Amino acid sequence: MNDPFKQASANRKVLTADEDAEGRLDSFLTAALEGEFSRNRIKSLIEQNAVTINGKVVSEPKRKVQPGDEIVIDMPEPEDPEPKGEDIPLDVLYEDDDLIVLVKPAGLVVHPGAGNWTGTLVNALIHHCGATLSGIGGVKRPGIVHRLDKETSGVMVAAKNDAAHRHLSDQFADHGRTGPLERAYKAVVWGRPRQLKGTIDAPLGRAGDRTKRAVKREDADDAREAITHYTVVERHVEKPDGTALASTIECHLETGRTHQIRVHMAHIGHPLIGDPEYGAAFRTKANLLPDPAKVVVSQFPRQALHAFMLQFEHPSTGEVMHFESPMPQDMEELVKALQKARL
């Protein structure tokens, strides 16, 4: 490959694809920059709209490069990479020298990222556990072995040393198939699934942007196995024909993909109440409810999802640790309003 650079500066790099250029954009840039950035970093820059080809923003790493293409990378201003401890209250269920188990409230981001460099669970953990935590599991994700969406509440575990981090990470990577790891959630969904107990086995992949997910064909490039087991716990606002306007369900994860429960329940036609991404089309269904349930449901500010149970093997003792947390007040009030509603 000939030297592709036309111009380079601290914050901008301009390259021209030579006559032999071919293949994916992320692969081309990784080779052209000769190890200056990893392929994952290149992919991240593309997905953050920091790359243009012939003056047009490109957000797909797999976009094909053509000979003569002018490619511009505008590097974002560097952020402070090391999160600082912040005195954010934690609801701690258990703690020892190896780990801490807590209940994350809705609205709390787990780890720092674009737009959320402070006020995260990581900032709270560094303050609570001390500076030694900062080197475990990476600078921006110290101690984190799994995550919950910002607006999902529930039980989480974080590691406090490298050995515990490796052991817990291995358990989550295994999805409990060969060990005691188990995760269970309570959710409030629209309608009532046809089967009161069932399994959703549908691969997930990206849906056009960096964070949203969708069910994919098994042979799709980014398809990843995703399996959710659900049980209808209670039907709300039942009709004479046996259907219901809403249901409380319990979900057990066999895999742990981004937005898995939210996407899977929407896939079978029963999105979570309050879900702004996967349940927006169902928002007007609140008008079918009688007051005051209609008001409570229409004003519910987040996806109605709570990780109520977490079980895992203690990394040092081998003991099976089991923790549960009741639904938070906002979901309790949502369920109570639906329980009282009558058609």
CATH number at residue 151: 3.30.2350.10
* Inter-residue contact 48 to 35 (CB < 8 Å): no
226 and 323 share a domain? yes
244 and 102 share a domain? no
- What is the rounded average pLDDT of the residues 22-38? 83
- What is the rounded average pLDDT of the residues 36-47? 82
**Is residue 83 included in any domain, yes or no?**
no
Task: Give pLDDT, residue 139.
Answer: 67
135 and 14 share a domain? no
267 and 196 share a domain? yes
**Is residue 82 included in any domain, yes or no?**
no
43 and 109 share a domain? no
The model's pTM: 0.76
For the cut 80, the answer to whether the pLDDT of residue 242 exceeds it is no
50 and 100 share a domain? no
What pLDDT, in 10s, does the model give residues 201-215? 999 998 877 789 999
What pLDDT, in 10s, does the model give residues 327-336? 999 999 999 9
145 and 228 share a domain? no
For the cut 60, the answer to whether the pLDDT of residue 277 exceeds it is yes
Q: pLDDT band at residue 131, thresholds of 50, 70 and 90?
A: low
143 and 192 share a domain? no
165 and 234 share a domain? no
For the cut 90, the answer to whether the pLDDT of residue 5 exceeds it is no
Average pLDDT taken over every residue of the chain:
90
For the cut 60, the answer to whether the pLDDT of residue 181 exceeds it is yes
Task: Domain of residue 168: give its range.
Answer: 91-174
Domain count, the chain: 3
For the cut 90, the answer to whether the pLDDT of residue 191 exceeds it is yes
Q: pLDDT band at residue 2, thresholds of 50, 70 and 90?
A: very low
Q: pLDDT band at residue 200, thresholds of 50, 70 and 90?
A: very high
Which comes out higher in pLDDT, residue 343 or 189?
189
Task: Give pLDDT, residue 216.
Answer: 94
Q: Active-site residue 275, yes or no?
A: no
Task: Give pLDDT, residue 65.
Answer: 92
Task: Give pLDDT, residue 37.
Answer: 75
* Inter-residue contact 42 to 33 (CB < 8 Å): yes
- What is the rounded average pLDDT of the residues 264-280? 97
- What is the rounded average pLDDT of the residues 144-163? 95
Conformation bin of residue 159: beta by default, left when phi > 0, alpha when psi is -120 to 50: beta
**CB < 8 Å & 24+ apart, contacts of 74-78:** 74/11, 74/12, 74/50, 75/10, 75/11, 75/12, 75/13, 75/45, 75/50, 76/45, 76/48, 76/50, 77/11
- What is the rounded average pLDDT of the residues 81-109? 93
Instruction: State how far the alpha carbon of 253 is from the alpha carbons of 189, 190, 330, in Å.
Output: 17, 20, 23
Find the catalytic residue in 26, 69, 98, 149.
149
For the cut 90, the answer to whether the pLDDT of residue 39 exceeds it is no
